[in-house]
Chains A and B, each alone.
Chain A
Amino acid sequence: MKTNEFLSLLEETLEMTEGSLSISTNLKNLEEYDSLAVLSIIAMIDENFGKSLSAQDFTNVTDVASLIEKIGKEHFE
């Protein structure tokens, strides 16, 4: 998946306007990022990458780049 596509997917998942996220956005600082948002991201990653991220993974997530790293860079172009 292209990074831009992933950013769009993530914006859709978090119900944010297009273009509001960048690779360096710290997810934890977002108003939209709460316990329900984490469930939505888990579903999005399962659906698109067939991967499950643990609760621990989410504890360590900071910016979008760190989320991409958790999913695995091999999934990205």
Chain B
Amino acid sequence: MESSIKDIEYYLPENILSNDKLSREFPEWSAEKIEQKLGIRERRIAGENETALDLGQKACEKLIRKYPKEQIDFLLFCTESPDYFIPPNAPLLQDRLCLRTDIGAFDFNLACSGYVYGLSIAKGLIAADISKSVLLVTAETYSKHIHPKDKSNKTMFGDAAAATLICDTEKSGIGNFALGTDGTGYDKLIVHNGGFRNPYDPNAELIEYIEGSYRTNNNLYMNGPEIFNFTIKAVPIVVEQCLERNNVTIDEIDYVIFHQANKYMIEYLRKKTKIPQEKFHIDMLMTGNTVSCTIPIALRNSIDNKVIKSGDRVLIVGFGVGYSWGATIITIN
């Protein structure tokens, strides 16, 4: 059985963190410079008592009100900010949404590659006749991992959730995948403490890890230069592999959505992969880097703005934490 994306909705928390506010806090970066370089004007931040599960629930509610929810027979939840170590978010969300109980549901822990991986799992579940209607949730609240004095990461990341419904169809709407993993990069984007390797340390030392950006080992750490080097190496290869595996050239692709990491980085990757500007999505202006949500948000907005039309073939590429990366080609109907 083939599968396709039937619909996507997303939800952004209400609190806005604008460049103006950031530049008042960190005067060495002007609001204009942030927007010009990173392509971000504001990002949304989850409330103190609002979690990725809450955001995911809101995104799902927007989606499932349009469909008979009894048809959903699998729930996938992608997050790195779960409510608990035990249990996973997926059963909690099954209950909150009053989905059937004779369905499968589990979490998987991935970041910016999570959406592509989620589609690959959904496609597999449908192909194996395990499911006919998969609800894929990506929800992230990196703001809760970021130290309040971490200028660099606060500027980059925003919180969000997206819900995607993937259903069995006669014609395939999700193509072949090219996936990749390289665990040598595990410590380039990491929260060191809080798991069982290094427990949360209430007395963790405050470190100025790059000029003007502070964190402790309890917080998110990103080695920007190394992440950029990784993407420069991995992204052109995975784009080529994905095109090959789907037996198409870039000319036959109508639109390209990379994980919206930041404008500067993906514009360089676009040039390097020789993708024409008019086919290439750059828009994280009002959301920032929302990790596993950037691709579904971009898809939803591009469909609404009629940039993506019915029948278009869209190349999507995710890359980040792990290192982990992946690409596929979807057809929107």
Binding site for B on A (CB under 8 A): 34-36, 38-40, 42-43, 46-47, 52-55, 58
Chain B residues lying within 8 Å of A54, measured Cβ to Cβ, are 225-226, 229
Binding site for A on B (CB under 8 A): 28-29, 37-38, 152, 210-213, 223-226, 228-229, 232-233, 264-265, 268, 272
Give the CA-CA distance A58 to B71 in the complex, in Å.
54
A52 in contact with B233 (CB, 8 Å): yes
Chain B residues lying within 8 Å of A52, measured Cβ to Cβ, are 229, 232-233
B211 in contact with A42 (CB, 8 Å): no
Chain B interface, DSSP helix/strand/loop, else mixed? helix
Chain A residues lying within 8 Å of B268, measured Cβ to Cβ, are 43
A35 in contact with B233 (CB, 8 Å): no
Closest Cβ of chain B to A70, distance in Å, is 12
Chain A interface, DSSP helix/strand/loop, else mixed? helix
Closest Cβ of chain B to A34, distance in Å, is 7
Give the CA-CA distance A43 to B225 in the complex, in Å.
10
B210 in contact with A39 (CB, 8 Å): no
- 10 sampled A-B residue pairs with Cβ under 8 A: A34-B29, A34-B211, A34-B212, A35-B210, A36-B264, A38-B224, A39-B225, A42-B228, A46-B272, A54-B225
What residue in chain B is nearest A41 (Cβ atoms)?
Answer: B225
Chain A residues lying within 8 Å of B272, measured Cβ to Cβ, are 46-47
Chain B residues lying within 8 Å of A47, measured Cβ to Cβ, are 272
Closest Cβ of chain A to B10, distance in Å, is 27
Give the CA-CA distance A64 to B73 in the complex, in Å.
60
A42 in contact with B210 (CB, 8 Å): no
With A35-B224, A54-B229 given, can you name 12 additional A-B contacts, CB distance below 8 Å? A34-B211, A34-B212, A35-B210, A35-B213, A39-B225, A39-B265, A40-B264, A42-B225, A42-B232, A46-B272, A55-B224, A58-B225
Closest Cβ of chain A to B213, distance in Å, is 7
B152 in contact with A35 (CB, 8 Å): yes
Give the CA-CA distance A34 to B211 in the complex, in Å.
7
Q: Within the complex, which residue of B37, B38, B225 is in contact with A55, where a contact is CB–CB below 8 Å?
A: B225
Closest Cβ of chain B to A46, distance in Å, is 5
Chain B residues lying within 8 Å of A40, measured Cβ to Cβ, are 264
Give the CA-CA distance A61 to B176 in the complex, in Å.
43
Q: A35-B213, A42-B228, A42-B229 are in contact. Are A55 and B223 (CB under 8 A)?
A: yes
Q: Within the complex, which residue of A34, A35, A46 is in contact with B232, where a contact is CB–CB below 8 Å?
A: A46
Give the CA-CA distance A53 to B224 in the complex, in Å.
12
Closest Cβ of chain A to B140, distance in Å, is 22
Give the CA-CA distance A40 to B228 in the complex, in Å.
10
Give the CA-CA distance A8 to B257 in the complex, in Å.
33
Closest Cβ of chain B to A20, distance in Å, is 18
